[in-house]
């Protein structure tokens, strides 16, 4: 009997240890991991390092990340993101926007380094709950790009990642994206500068941006954000866009031609193509809305664009 009791005691102890181990494992799985961004030794890509905030609230995390960006790196595996001669003077946090104020040395960075700096900072701050945008200032004035255009508010979506795995091969593009006006009866052009992974075809990035909708409050989306992209490719000058059934079933309250030509015009402006064919789950023998047949190649048509007199 004593032997049986000893066996039971050992068994219970093992069960308790196992249970404790499961609880510990579960706790580890629940831990949220954040990242800090540095410059690789090659100075051609970003390095991510796990970051554990002292407190998981927006104000604390913003200040900690700001301080880490300002401090020199003591690692032999990566470099500080900002060059030593670039000063981040101060920051503010208002609404959902973190505003970073730099000195004039920021603009002296070469283009490749500046893109990496901007990418790392936007990704670092927008991972914080409650932060959606990052604004860049130079001595208190809005930062401009090499062409003199204001950079404006930047968000995580401005840096298109390849399934979240590649942030090191970014290029930028200036796009004309076409959305609907407030009445839903004409197209309006929204100029957008984006950064995206070179591993993602630009034509796909354009359709993704159209699905996200306009940034301006004076414009309406032409496509439902629930629409899924099944494929986008260019073959012999024709761009083939394959969407799921939401394209047909979740239409927007705009004139029937506008969704088609928002896609066609946006792709034509950015890509070297002379036509677009849209399919729904691979099928072109369908009609969009009342009369827009998809079994044909659509070419850009700017007659749907709102004129200055109409705006």
pLDDT tens-place string over residues 34-88: 999 998 888 878 888 999 999 999 999 999 999 999 988 888 888 999 999 999 9
pLDDT on residue 34 = 92
pLDDT on residue 123 = 93
Same domain, 42 and 149: yes
pLDDT on residue 43 = 80
> SS3 of 257, please?
helix
pLDDT on residue 1 = 46
pLDDT on residue 131 = 95
- Is 160 inside a domain boundary? yes
Task: Extract the residue ranges of the chain whose pLDDT is less than 70.
Answer: 1-32, 146-147, 159-170, 309-311
Same domain, 146 and 257: no
pLDDT on residue 138 = 94
- 79, 93, 103, 166, 246 from 45: Cα distances, Å: 11, 28, 24, 10, 38
DSSP state of 132: -
* Six token digits for residue 34: 């954040």
CA–CA separation, 155 and 47 (whole Å):
20
- Is 9 inside a domain boundary? no
Domain boundary, last residue among 168, 192, 225 = 168
For residue 249, the enclosing domain spans 178-311
> SS3 of 302, please?
helix
- Is 8 inside a domain boundary? no
Q: What is the pLDDT of residues 182-213, one digit of tens each?
A: 999 999 999 988 877 777 889 999 999 999 99
Domain boundary, last residue among 146, 168, 190 = 168
Nearest to residue 240, comparing CAs of 211, 195, 201?
A: 201
Same domain, 70 and 151: yes
pLDDT on residue 310 = 64
Kindly state the greatest CA–CA separation across the chain: 98
Same domain, 188 and 160: no
Same domain, 144 and 269: no
Number of domains in the chain: 2
- Is 64 inside a domain boundary? yes
Burial of 2 (0-12, 13-18, 19+ CB in 10 A): exposed
Domain boundary, last residue among 168, 198, 215 = 168
């Amino acid at each position: 009997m004593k032997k049986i009791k000893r066996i039971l005691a050992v068994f219970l102890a093992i069960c308790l240890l196992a249970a404790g181990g499961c609880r510990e494992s579960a706790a580890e799985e629940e831990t949220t991991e954040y990242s800090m961004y540095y410059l690789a030794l090659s100075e051609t890509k970003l390095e991510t390092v796990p970051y554990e905030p002292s407190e998981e609230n927006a104000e604390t995390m913003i200040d900690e990340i700001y301080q880490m960006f300002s401090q020199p790196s003591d690692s032999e595996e990566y470099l500080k993101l900002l060059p030593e001669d670039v000063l981040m003077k101060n920051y503010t946090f208002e609404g959902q926007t973190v505003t970073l104020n730099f000195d004039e040395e920021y603009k002296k960075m070469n283009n490749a380094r500046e893109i990496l700096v901007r990418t790392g900072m936007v990704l670092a701050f927008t991972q914080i709950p409650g932060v959606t945008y990052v604004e860049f200032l130079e001595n208190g004035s809005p930062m401009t790009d090499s062409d003199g255009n204001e950079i404006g508010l930047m968000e995580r979506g401005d840096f298109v990642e390849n399934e979240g795995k590649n942030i090191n091969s970014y290029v930028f593009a200036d796009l004309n994206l076409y959305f609907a006006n407030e009445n839903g009866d004409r197209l309006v052009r929204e100029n957008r500068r984006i950064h995206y992974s070179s591993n993602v075809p630009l034509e796909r990035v354009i359709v993704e941006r159209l699905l996200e909708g306009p940034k301006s409050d004076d414009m309406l989306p032409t496509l439902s954000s629930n629409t899924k992209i099944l494929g986008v490719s260019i073959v012999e000058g024709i761009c083939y866009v394959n969407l799921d059934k939401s394209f047909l079933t979740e239409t927007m309250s705009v004139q029937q031609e506008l969704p088609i030509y928002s896609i066609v015009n946006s792709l034509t402006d950015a890509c070297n193509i002379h036509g677009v064919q849209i399919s729904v789950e691979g099928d072109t023998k369908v009609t969009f809305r009342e009369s827009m047949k998809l079994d044909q190649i659509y070419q850009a048509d700017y007659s749907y664009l709102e004129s200055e007199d109409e705006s």
